Structure 1
């Protein structure tokens, strides 16, 4: 397919991500949601995502307009019953978003907060579950994007099975790369985005559900637009959304999923991300930077570095210097102050990461930065 757009910026962030040149042109034409081509694209996308989750014959994939934050709120509203209580785990900014959602919707919940530089332990979860017998569901973020920390959904799934709790997972920054077997882990609902590791455009989210668990959720949502049960019935019956869908994003998402399949699926994408992160982290460490996380705890989605301990360093000036070269980073939502993040996902390669590190080095040298390492206070918190 001929590329009709000139791509200027390279997004070095964990979302939205840089898109392949194949995807942008398919979003240029206008389409009705009811066209047979659109209905079939949506059905094919649902089938492929269900396959990626190892949920064939067991689960259903529900498209949802908006960012994955909308879908997370829909999952909480739909799956936690009116007399239920949710245990929310947080070790970063995106876990905190789940807590904020519960507070805003007055959802009964308890919080398990653990440090932002390591995964939670089984003992911490067991203690939280034992303290409150009214907990019906557990929700956690698989990859905490504010740091890059990989959380152990397999361990939590085992505990949910032992304690007879429903498990809800924010897999926004992991699905499409990291392996997830929903049926084996008995995850009731999993949230992902068409962006992130799927490498499609933002504006469309997906929820993959245990169909039997979803069937028990009629009337739970207490919201018209955030009712996953009703959305699933409508898409199954008509092939269309209940309300006006993001048609251009659907076209882009379908093209992205075709590229995902052609690349070799989640395993191939994970290999590329591992190569990207390894190159990025090795080159940054060679300059003297320290990473927030130990490599054993880090997912290959985003790498977080401590700010240089140099009086000439200023994040705003570094941002401007990189942006002038078409390289975009953002402070974003950080798990730990005094850090910054570089994304490893999207249409990026090992060469992309090497070029980014070279640009960071040059910009900081132009600023007069001589010390790239973290200060004693930051290192003491590692």
Structure 2
């Protein structure tokens, strides 16, 4: 009788394991099937990712387990390698949350509490976001502003520093995705270095997709879900070790303390608080794919080519870019709303969405415009298809931009997200 009970228990256990395996495989197949039907994301991130990057997340890791710690260490090392820096001089600090968490962590950790003053050079919404962070924490700041379609020069920064010699830290967005403009951070970095100031660069939408020299950058902040083509979940900062060490006990926050976060990662490879395990697994795979593509240099060429297909195609349809070609970055392009009686952005957006193509669903610029991104796992065929679908939508909306019908100014109410 005991033998029979043991046999039954074993049989039931085997069947339960078998059923669980079938359920897991079914769920996995369903997830992959849904992923195959995902829309194409023509956005500045989150963006379209590869199937293999998605598949990398179909595993569970213990956040304090040695196998996961190995992945964390590998990702940190690989990000330093992409930055082209030595681990003896720089460290890579992973931080849970969006890219803004990373920017907030750097600003609140690095700008000195005593006699610290931050110069923010803004030409878009993300420069202004840094200014808001400074205001929330009571960080003294000098804010200089330019129109969203105008880049900064080293002379601009030199003049601002001459007018405000008390400034200790300078912050600038590299690829300002409000408009798609690209600020010359390497030239500006030399000016900041010569002035003896600390230079913070928001490279959220450029690191991994545009070559960047770290020679004169002290802190570079980026994110997992932009040009590296991973998924949302964490930001990271490439930081000079000596300057980060000098920021010990300077942080104005607990969770976003960059120095404490790095100390924990260096000490035992662990996050201080719950890490985004699946996003880090996806990043490890995404970095494999960056290597396979040929590194940042090759990805930069692909992004530039995709942006050219987009711009040439949209200009042929009659759309007007907001940024001049010499200032345009290869990440995202802003087009002005057409001055046509039948134009309605909400309708245009929805018709694209109905066809499985998503652009950013709102205006972040101060001008009436919309943005189209070309980063992520997108191909030339995807960009050509977008242009062709857009042409069909304009026809459906009865809009000919080559012979526009001007709308009465009073009737125009731009869509705001």
Q: TM-score, normalised to structure 2's length? A: 0.87
Contact kept in structure 2, 1:19 and 1:199, CA below 8 Å: yes
Mapped partners of 1:44, 1:297: distance in 2: 35
Q: Which residue of 1 aligns with 2:351?
A: 321
**Which of 172, 192, 200 in structure 2 is aligned with 1:160?**
192
Are positions 1:38 and 2:64 aligned together?
no
**Which of 215, 232, 240 in structure 1 is aligned with 2:245?**
215
Q: Which residue of 1 aligns with 2:111?
A: 80
Are positions 1:54 and 2:84 aligned together?
yes
Are positions 1:12 and 2:42 aligned together?
yes
Mapped partners of 2:258, 2:335: distance in 1: 38
Are positions 1:141 and 2:173 aligned together?
yes
Q: Which moved more, 1:141-150 or 1:119-128?
A: 119-128
Cα-to-partner distance string for 1:225-266 (whole Å, 9 max, x where unaligned):
011100001011111100011111111111111111111110
**Which of 79, 101, 109 in structure 2 is aligned with 1:70?**
101
CA shift at 1:158, angstroms?
A: 1.2
Mapped partners of 1:196, 1:315: distance in 2: 25
CA shift at 1:223, angstroms?
A: 1.3
Q: Which residue of 2 aligns with 1:303?
A: 333
**Which of 364, 381, 388 in structure 2 is aligned with 1:358?**
388
Cα-to-partner distance string for 1:310-363 (whole Å, 9 max, x where unaligned):
111111001110111110112445334211111010000111111011111111
Cα-to-partner distance string for 1:268-287 (whole Å, 9 max, x where unaligned):
11011011001111111111
Q: Which moved more, 1:90-99 or 1:363-372?
A: 363-372
Contact kept in structure 2, 1:71 and 1:191, CA below 8 Å: yes
TM-aligned CA distance change 1:373 to 1:149, over 3 Å: farther
Q: Which moved more, 1:300-309 or 1:364-373?
A: 364-373
Contact kept in structure 2, 1:217 and 1:229, CA below 8 Å: yes
Mapped partners of 1:269, 1:50: distance in 2: 17
Mapped partners of 2:85, 2:67: distance in 1: 25
Are positions 1:102 and 2:130 aligned together?
no
Contact kept in structure 2, 1:87 and 1:109, CA below 8 Å: yes
Contact kept in structure 2, 1:78 and 1:217, CA below 8 Å: yes
Q: Which residue of 2 aligns with 1:249?
A: 279
Are positions 1:22 and 2:52 aligned together?
yes
**Which of 259, 262, 280 in structure 1 is aligned with 2:310?**
280
Contact kept in structure 2, 1:307 and 1:373, CA below 8 Å: no
Are positions 1:346 and 2:338 aligned together?
no
CA shift at 1:29, angstroms?
A: 2.2
Mapped partners of 1:173, 1:373: distance in 2: 36
Q: Which residue of 2 aligns with 1:89?
A: 121
TM-aligned CA distance change 1:372 to 1:41, over 3 Å: farther
CA shift at 1:11, angstroms?
A: 0.4
**Which of 160, 163, 166 in structure 2 is aligned with 1:128?**
160
The 3-state SS of whatever aligns with 1:351 is: helix
CA shift at 1:110, angstroms?
A: 0.5
Count of residues in Structure 1 that have an aligned counterpart in Structure 2 = 376
Mapped partners of 1:13, 1:4: distance in 2: 22
The 3-state SS of whatever aligns with 1:4 is: helix
The 3-state SS of whatever aligns with 2:51 is: coil
Q: Which residue of 2 aligns with 1:193?
A: 223
After superposition, the CA RMSD in angstroms is: 2.0
Mapped partners of 1:23, 1:178: distance in 2: 21
The 3-state SS of whatever aligns with 1:22 is: helix
Q: Which residue of 2 aligns with 1:330?
A: 360
